Structure 1
Amino acid sequence: MPTKGLSLLLWVFFVHLAGIYLYTRGFLLTRLALSDINTCDDGSCKLPPTHKRAVVLVIDALRFDFLSPHPPEPPSPYHHNVLRLPQELTAANPTHSFLFEMFSDPPTTTLQRLKGITTGSLPTFIDMGSNFGGSSISEDSFIGQLQAAGKKIAFMGDDTWTTVFPDSFEPNMTFPYDSFNVEDLHTVDEGVIEHLFPLLRDQSAPWDVLIGHFLGVDHVGHRLGPDHPTMKTKQEQMDRVLRQVVGLLDDDTLLVLLGDHGMDRKGDHGGDSDHETSAALWIYSKGRQLLHPKAAIPPHLLTTRTFPGASVENRHIQQIDLAPTLSLLLGLPVPFNNLGTIIPELFWHDKSGRDYARALTLNTQQIKRYLDTYRNSASGGELDGAWDDLERIWQTVNFQATPKEQSAQWLAMTAYTRQALSVCRMLWAQFNVSLITLGLVLLVTGTVASVLLYLKLGTLQESWESWSAEVKRWYVTSMFSGALLGFVGYITLSRYVKGVGLVDALLFGSALASSLVVIVSARPSFSVTSIRSLTSVPLPLILHALAFASNSFTVWEDRVVTYLLITSIVPSVLIGLAAPTSRLRYRILGFSALFAGCVRLMAASTVCREEQQPFCHVTFFASSSLPSPPPSVLALSVPVALALPWIVKRFLKTSQSDKGTASIVLPLILPGTLLMGTAYWVLEHLDSSEALDPEWTGTLRFVRTLCARVAFSGVLFLGYALWWLVTLCLKISTDTRTDSAAPDRPRREVTVLGFANAYGAPYAVFWCLFLGLVYPATQLTGQLVLALATIAVLAHLEVVDSVRDVRGLEAVFASGNPSAILQQDGLQPSNVPLRFSEITPLALLAMHAFFATGHQAAIPSIQWKAAFVLTPTLTYPLSPLLVTLNTLGPHFLIALAAPLLALWNVAPLPQPTADVRVRLDAVRASLGMMLYHAALLLSSAVCSAWLRRHLMVWKIFAPRFMLSALTVVVVDLAVLFGVSVGVGRISERVSKLFAAMNPR
């Protein structure tokens, strides 16, 4: 049955969820998408088409330097000057072929980029999440305009298109393929090729626009990185495809080749680094020229930039410029929500630029109509701060300009469209201050209530359960009362407070009222114990929380955490130096050294944020551009998987608690699980590095999937089932002895091995089984980090146990009657109260393990490979769960260890007092872990709100807040799972054991 006190932790979890929900609703807004459609039956908002047909080819993750004739120095032999046709035709036919670098707005995920390409609108930060479950586009788009004009669209490739445009393509010319199977490098591309060329060869095929979306380049990047021979092979294939396509084009067909986004140095994307936001665009017209040979385009209309590492400037545009450009070239109206500006080179059909002037006029008028409509919408107030500037620029636009005034007129219209884009980029970083404030109020009151609750439980002894039951009645009642007050507040104040809904008001009222009740109920009595607990709040937490006020400290948080983690054990070392016995001194100093050594070795594993360059070097992977494990990691992975269970068993053996369930799980189940998890990633490396012949690919995929499934099944269906049935790690033997004084009355003696760690050992096994779930979802370098983290946790437990012995001895000798106390109670660690400073190293270790397993508070660090551990294709809900386990598993794992601070090396005597005390300390340890991460969440939320106009808010502060929010949820779930299942089951079994041994 669940441990008493669980309801307190559940209430804290509820307040955290309520605060996070309200804050994120205010901080991470989605923009208002207007449903208006740009129509003009009289043809006044469109131009005569330059081409009858268009072929639009998307090569996913086609970074600009993959096509550039002037790549960065030194060029890579694997992805530079490989896909050569665009640069060759641009050099040979400068009026028919154009090569551009496009800026793709973050988040650089395929779904959001397709929205931008087809609608010309901007995404918002939170939109990235819909990349896994995108819905159809409700805005006006290039695709919608084609449909409205009666055009027929053929499609083949990435099925994201059919998700966002479910009814837009011709049924008999639509061939979608699964887009998330990143391990499959060829199926989608071969499918596109299979259906593309028959349609191009058949001159009578009834299509007007043909869209093909290749995925191979993107998948090679994710799986192998851009600097891999397979990338060269894939780009060579794309080059051959383009040459065939160009050969089959007729003179009335426009060819558009583009990348939806770029990729970073190791092949991933999603963030806003230069490499991720850089995408290539090539436009080619085989027949009609696009640019007049004698065109004199004013330089101020042509934006250029230099690609990172290159020495020659290139033509630079916004990716959303493609929407108005393609629409007008094909004789369609510009999509209503478009914020892009037409590309001048494609409309300069005569020397004077008459067609360009007409196209830019239509483009500018469309953006003006959009802004006017948005201004009159429910969200129109968001434009208040920028409207005067926009109107001022608009007044400079003169649509009746004379030929001499044309250049100034073009400049004015371009200035208006670009200012509109700039304003809207800032606009959709707007915030609902009301909801942010409500969320912050809950986070503050919830944190204060948690602190007081932690202190209050520290002053209670055996009476803590009765007090918990009493306060439970009060905060449960207040939750319903607060919800009622929230409803009344919503009815009376909704007209004055914008953006706050009924659910928001109910949640706020319920959480706030219950927090205030807990604050009043747990108010401190200012006893010596409570004051000591209050003053023992560690400096590392304060420094860690304050770090989020600085973008530099936030960027380098992985190094900050390493420093704070080493610092957090200094108090234990000082106690060890002054320990009263040599045994305790050696134990404290020895295990502290072991802990520090594990922390430093974990810190050797790094991945780098873009902002850390050039002062950071990737060691988690073989190199910054090769996402495979380093050779040393490959060599150590199997020995570590086999050695780790033996090391855990050695820690338990010191207390003779390696019996019972530990004697089965540690030598049998856990080694097999870890070895299977390691085997999966070793085989994945052999497959992705093409170390074996291609015919082995299917076999390797089958075998490694089988290894992963065996690993997970072994833990879930064998390990935890065994632990539930045989929970305790005890060996009980009975011996009958005859007393010489009374030979007719034999005496029965019961020997219990593992008695001194009766609570801690079974929970350690329980914890190790969850390690067996995280291990296979973690890449090889991360597995070594998890092994070091496991040893660090056990070393910290031994340090805490020895420090409590020191404190216990000090308290005994300070009592004035040590012999009587030792004779009556002995030296029980359960008699020494838990301190928050003992929780701090574990909380910091969780953050340290997160960074060391190859993660950062940045989107590109997500390791998408984990999604395919159990299945070769994207499978819901397994794939998202595996990515979550890979990313946040270290947080869950270390937080799950918090109750061990209360259970380790605690003997279950005297009963039932020891059991009550153990459960109290387990709840306090769990609450302390929740409190540490809640404090980080509060700091991150305050800093993000305060710095919401900071230049780096979406690049640094918002992702760090999201990580804090997810971490709090995961940590709360971990301790709830540990207390309810782990501690509850162990307490129940220990109680039954003593009841059986003492039937009276």
Structure 2
Amino acid sequence: MASKGNSILLWVFFVHLAGIYLYTRGFLLTRLSLSDTTTCPDGSCTITPLHKRAVVLVIDALRFDFLSPHPPEPASPYHHNVLVLPQELTATQPTRSLLFEMFSDPPTTTLQRLKGITTGSLPTFIDMGSNFGGSSITEDSFIGQLRLAGKKIAFMGDDTWTTVFPDSFEPNMTFPYDSFNVEDLHTVDEGVIDHLFPLLQDKSAPWDVIIGHFLGVDHVGHRVGPDHSTMKAKLTQMDAVVRRVIDLLDDETLLILMGDHGMDRKGDHGGDGDHETSAALWLYSKGPQLVHPKASIPEFLLTSRLFPGATIKHRHIQQIDLAPTLSLALGLPIPFNNLGTVIPELFWHDKSGKDYSRALTLNAKQVNRYLETYRASPSGGELENAWGELETVWRTVDFEAHTTDSEAQWLAMTMYTRFALAACRQLWAQFNVSLIVLGLVVLVTSTVAATFIYFRVGALKDEWESWASEVTRSYVSGAAGGALLGFVGYMTVSCYVKGVGLSESLLFGASFVSSLVVIFSALPSFSIPSVRSLTSIPLPLILHAAAFASNSFTVWEDRVVNYLLISSVIPSVLVGFSAPTARLRYRILGFSALFAVCVRLMAVSTVCREEQQPFCHVTFFASSSLPSPPLPVLLLSVPVALALPYTMRRFLRISKSDRGTAALVFPFILPTVLLLGSAFWILEHFDSSEVFGPDWAGTLRLARTWCARLAMASAVFLGYALWYLVPLCLEISSETKAQTNSTAQGRGTREVTVLGFANAYGAPYLVFWCLFLGLLYPATQLSGQAVLSLAAIAVLAHLEVIDTIRDVRGLEAVFASNNPSALLQPENMALRAPSVPLRFAEIAPLAILAVHTFFATGHQAAIPSIQWKTAFVLTPTLTYPLSPLLVILNTFGPTFLIALASPLLALWNVAPLPQPEADVKVRGDAVRASLGIMLYHATLLLSSATCAAWLRRHLMVWKIFAPRFMLAAITMLVVDLAVLFGVAVGVARVSDRVSRLFAAMTSRTK
């Protein structure tokens, strides 16, 4: 019978998935990559190079201020003025040494930045996902042009290069290294050094370009942040490497030293913050001068800006400017898809700038040729709105004007290339409005249908299963019929609707029609809720959903959620003040206060979005630049791991349900799992801080890896195995008492005592829930572990509040009945609770708590908040698919955990009598509680999707609204999977064992 509830939840998951898929297919399309290649056998599309060879050194995450002679104030002793050779040579040899700050287009992940550097093209919003599974670059690139010219490329370092350019490097001069082992600070760098210098020393080595990609600076940032002595040591090593490279450099080789992106204050990257998009570039030539000593470069060609916190401006360029600049500097054609502009200083070889005029002319013509080709492609329609202005600017370019007015010509060509870049940056997020609308329609109808199911299951009570069977047949047939209609629609209108394929048509038809079938099947018996319930139920949800229409409220959602969650306690407090007995009043008010305190303490843990500065202070980590745990959290981690199981057992002791499986899990298994989970991060802190010195690194790494493995293995193979075999938390005893009356001499009555009877459903499900908490614990950093502990106590406090309110409402119902004295008898008290319906206002706090826990465990709706360290909890190196799964568990596990608790609202302190009616009612309430939390998050998803679509041309759409929609979409799917898992496994197993137990007890007593 439980499968009927599962089928309803599974259908809701299907329509949510369909709506999200259709919407994202329209909202997050990728840019079309043209496969055209720039060719000119006669050399007409390039210039004569000044250098025959080049050495390209990439120091991953080399932020500009790491090289700047004028860093932000106050300067950091750990990463400012440490790698000093570039600033020294720029000061003493200004014509041979050029230092730039580069803007790296987000997402600031290595693979996407390498694409930008080598092709000169722009990424799209969803490109970041390919950073973990990159494919080869099919566009024309600087590397491809080198190969077409017959040049030989040597490579050593980050293996991302060999992933995107698999056949471009000389086999005997290619030395790739694993790029994702962020805990290894030295192997890649030492490997680059071991292979770089022999090639430079061997004057007969047949290379034209050497690429060396160092990873140590990036890994130090991820591991301990930029403000750490380890960063100073790594930058000192890089300074020594660069000095030795220059010593070995010949006069015909150009040196390019650069970062692919920057890093934020705590050492991470991926987003679009100022520190993440800032990368350093340094060019040096021992031989030919890079810029003429008497060159007079017009100011309009030289862009400069202030680095955050600095007081002196520095020369500033776009990172994609490297593609045309390096190509022409080595005598190669510009890659076909390039949108960058050549760097003037590198072509100002005489006072007049003749070479620069030639380079810029080739650059402008290449950009124009690319745009015209793109406009003629199937995706060219997206350029229509900007094409008129692009044509107007292009017409101002006169390629003969340099003979009379060079500066006017340079200005016109530079304006054209920069305007083309700005227009493409705005339009590359191409939208398919048809698919967006189809997705929104499915999300709306599915939310309405789920609402109808929620109220229908509540109204039917014990008869809900028969209706569930009917509605299951209805939506299955509706989905089949809808898919057929979708096919017919595709065949008839596909020529008029752009971008909607057969799969999208079938999916829309199936999900939309099945939603309508559910709505119409529940509509005849649907009764409008009372005004009293509507005035208090949806207010937090309405406010939460409305916040997504404002970029400010979206940015500060972590604070908004904290306010909404504490405010959700008010209805319970009001019931507490009017409760009929002192005990009920104290319980409601006391547990409500405990819930509010836990919520407020959770809010102390913060990470900050860039937009929240300077009004936000990081507390999840030791500081904004040190990604280690705060000292109080470090000291409290072990006490918290021991106190949480004890506190949970005290909650169970209230109903005497701390018996059976609970007597093994809470005193032994769960504390062991939590302690091992905390031990991993304590040892990780000792390892990264080198408390015991570098000699202990291997031992600490091995110890903490096994701590995490034992913790997760204990939760899964010991805890869940025990729970599945013996889930109930009951203690049953029986004794035979002799009869004293004369008619029954020699016979006795058998008396069975069941401890934990009043919480026979809730206690075993709590054990089931706590074991997932144990699985999540090692994947969560120490501050997050404290937050999870507070969240667990908040869940239990909320359950006790709801249970007590249920008693209050039950008493009110008794006093309003015709025979209250009969129902007030002790043997009938347990029969009241199952008849009290579950309200949405009692579900909403749990749904808000899921969002609050996500923020409080160190996450935000922004890429930089991803905690990459967790990829290496179970293994010292990157391991697929384990490492990505651990990052997902860390990011969305807290949401899954709280959503998994939703059936407890129906199971907590509900006695299993009378059988089997109680089983049916409990399963129905569990399904209803699950539907309620799904409805809350579905409304947030619908609101964020609508706002992102409506504001899709808003300045902040890709910075704020699109990431929040993606978070809402993933959260929705996580919640759906959590409640499916909870009802299909947890509730089903508990209900089945309770039914078997009572059947066995009945047969024994008979």
Taking only aligned residues, the RMSD between alpha carbons, in angstroms, comes to 1.1
Identify if the C-alpha distance between structure 1 residues 499 and 740 changes in structure 2 by more than 3 Å, giving closer, same or farther.
Answer: same
Identify if the C-alpha distance between structure 1 residues 122 and 257 changes in structure 2 by more than 3 Å, giving closer, same or farther.
Answer: same
Q: Name the structure 1 match of 2:923.
A: 919
Q: Name the structure 2 match of 1:938.
A: 942
CA distance in 2: counterparts of 1:770 and 1:635, whole angstroms:
25
CA distance in 2: counterparts of 1:2 and 1:255, whole angstroms:
69
C-alpha distance after superposition, 1:148-176 (max 9, x if no partner) = 00000000000000000000000110000
Identify if the C-alpha distance between structure 1 residues 97 and 968 changes in structure 2 by more than 3 Å, giving closer, same or farther.
Answer: same
Matched, 1:801 2:803: yes
CA distance in 2: counterparts of 1:50 and 1:528, whole angstroms:
80
Q: Name the structure 2 match of 1:816.
A: 818
Equivalent pair of 2:155/2:211 in contact (CA under 8 Å)? yes
Matched, 1:867 2:876: no
The AA in structure 2 aligned to 1:804 is: R
Equivalent pair of 1:2/1:981 in contact (CA under 8 Å)? no
Q: Name the structure 2 match of 1:657.
A: 657
CA distance in 2: counterparts of 1:29 and 1:316, whole angstroms:
30
CA distance in 1: counterparts of 2:491 and 2:812, whole angstroms:
60
3-state SS in 2 of match to 1:32: coil
1:618 CA displacement? 0.6
3-state SS in 1 of match to 2:129: helix
1:826 CA displacement? 2.8
1:501 CA displacement? 1.0
1:812 CA displacement? 1.2
Q: Mark the runs of 5 or more structure 2 residues left unpaired by the alignment.
A: none
Identify if the C-alpha distance between structure 1 residues 528 and 583 changes in structure 2 by more than 3 Å, giving closer, same or farther.
Answer: farther
Q: Name the structure 2 match of 1:373.
A: 373
Number of residues of Structure 1 aligned to a counterpart in Structure 2: 1000
The aligned runs of 1:573-972 (5 Å cut-off) are 573-741=573-741, 742-823=744-825, 825-827=828-830, 828-972=832-976
Identity fraction in percent: 77
Equivalent pair of 2:31/2:430 in contact (CA under 8 Å)? no
Large movers: runs of 4+ above 2 Å = 1-4, 524-538, 820-828
The AA in structure 1 aligned to 2:928 is: R
Equivalent pair of 1:459/1:529 in contact (CA under 8 Å)? no
1:130 CA displacement? 0.3
3-state SS in 2 of match to 1:697: helix
The AA in structure 2 aligned to 1:607 is: V
Equivalent pair of 2:357/2:402 in contact (CA under 8 Å)? no
Q: Name the structure 2 match of 1:210.
A: 210
CA distance in 2: counterparts of 1:470 and 1:905, whole angstroms:
31
3-state SS in 1 of match to 2:794: helix
The aligned runs of 1:232-251 (5 Å cut-off) are 232-251=232-251
C-alpha distance after superposition, 1:812-845 (max 9, x if no partner) = 1112321233458435321100000001111111
Match of 1:974 among 971, 974, 978: 978
3-state SS in 2 of match to 1:351: coil
TM-score normalised by length of structure 2: 0.99
CA distance in 2: counterparts of 1:918 and 1:187, whole angstroms:
57
3-state SS in 1 of match to 2:461: coil
3-state SS in 1 of match to 2:279: strand
CA distance in 1: counterparts of 2:402 and 2:449, whole angstroms:
71
1:3 CA displacement? 4.4
Equivalent pair of 1:263/1:275 in contact (CA under 8 Å)? yes
1:404 CA displacement? 3.1
CA distance in 2: counterparts of 1:693 and 1:621, whole angstroms:
22
Is 607-616 or 734-743 further displaced after alignment? Answer: 734-743
1:794 CA displacement? 0.3
3-state SS in 2 of match to 1:5: helix
Q: Mark the runs of 5 or more structure 1 residues left unpaired by the alignment.
A: none
CA distance in 1: counterparts of 2:526 and 2:485, whole angstroms:
33
3-state SS in 2 of match to 1:737: strand
Q: Name the structure 2 match of 1:300.
A: 300
Equivalent pair of 1:456/1:523 in contact (CA under 8 Å)? no
Q: Name the structure 2 match of 1:28.
A: 28
Equivalent pair of 1:3/1:919 in contact (CA under 8 Å)? no
Matched, 1:413 2:413: yes
Identify if the C-alpha distance between structure 1 residues 126 and 374 changes in structure 2 by more than 3 Å, giving closer, same or farther.
Answer: same
Q: Name the structure 1 match of 2:72.
A: 72
1:290 CA displacement? 1.1
CA distance in 2: counterparts of 1:900 and 1:884, whole angstroms:
25
Identify if the C-alpha distance between structure 1 residues 909 and 546 changes in structure 2 by more than 3 Å, giving closer, same or farther.
Answer: same
The AA in structure 2 aligned to 1:321 is: D
The AA in structure 2 aligned to 1:826 is: M
Equivalent pair of 2:402/2:409 in contact (CA under 8 Å)? no
The AA in structure 2 aligned to 1:841 is: P
C-alpha distance after superposition, 1:658-690 (max 9, x if no partner) = 111111111111000000000000000000011
Q: Name the structure 2 match of 1:513.
A: 513
1:998 CA displacement? 1.3
1:528 CA displacement? 7.2
Equivalent pair of 1:459/1:530 in contact (CA under 8 Å)? no
The AA in structure 1 aligned to 2:984 is: S
1:535 CA displacement? 5.3
1:961 CA displacement? 0.4
Match of 2:998 among 984, 994, 1000: 994
CA distance in 2: counterparts of 1:272 and 1:262, whole angstroms:
10
Q: Name the structure 1 match of 2:362.
A: 362
3-state SS in 1 of match to 2:405: helix
Identify if the C-alpha distance between structure 1 residues 756 and 297 changes in structure 2 by more than 3 Å, giving closer, same or farther.
Answer: same
Q: Name the structure 1 match of 2:566.
A: 566
Equivalent pair of 1:455/1:534 in contact (CA under 8 Å)? no
1:529 CA displacement? 5.9
1:530 CA displacement? 6.7
The aligned runs of 1:548-563 (5 Å cut-off) are 548-563=548-563
1:745 CA displacement? 1.2
The AA in structure 2 aligned to 1:925 is: A
C-alpha distance after superposition, 1:13-51 (max 9, x if no partner) = 000000000111111110000000000011110111211
CA distance in 1: counterparts of 2:120 and 2:922, whole angstroms:
61
Q: Name the structure 2 match of 1:441.
A: 441
The AA in structure 2 aligned to 1:669 is: I
Q: Name the structure 2 match of 1:468.
A: 468
TM-score normalised by length of structure 1: 0.99
CA distance in 2: counterparts of 1:512 and 1:669, whole angstroms:
47
Is 811-820 or 389-398 further displaced after alignment? Answer: 811-820
Q: Name the structure 2 match of 1:540.
A: 540
CA distance in 1: counterparts of 2:617 and 2:381, whole angstroms:
46
1:527 CA displacement? 4.1
Equivalent pair of 2:30/2:430 in contact (CA under 8 Å)? no
1:909 CA displacement? 0.3
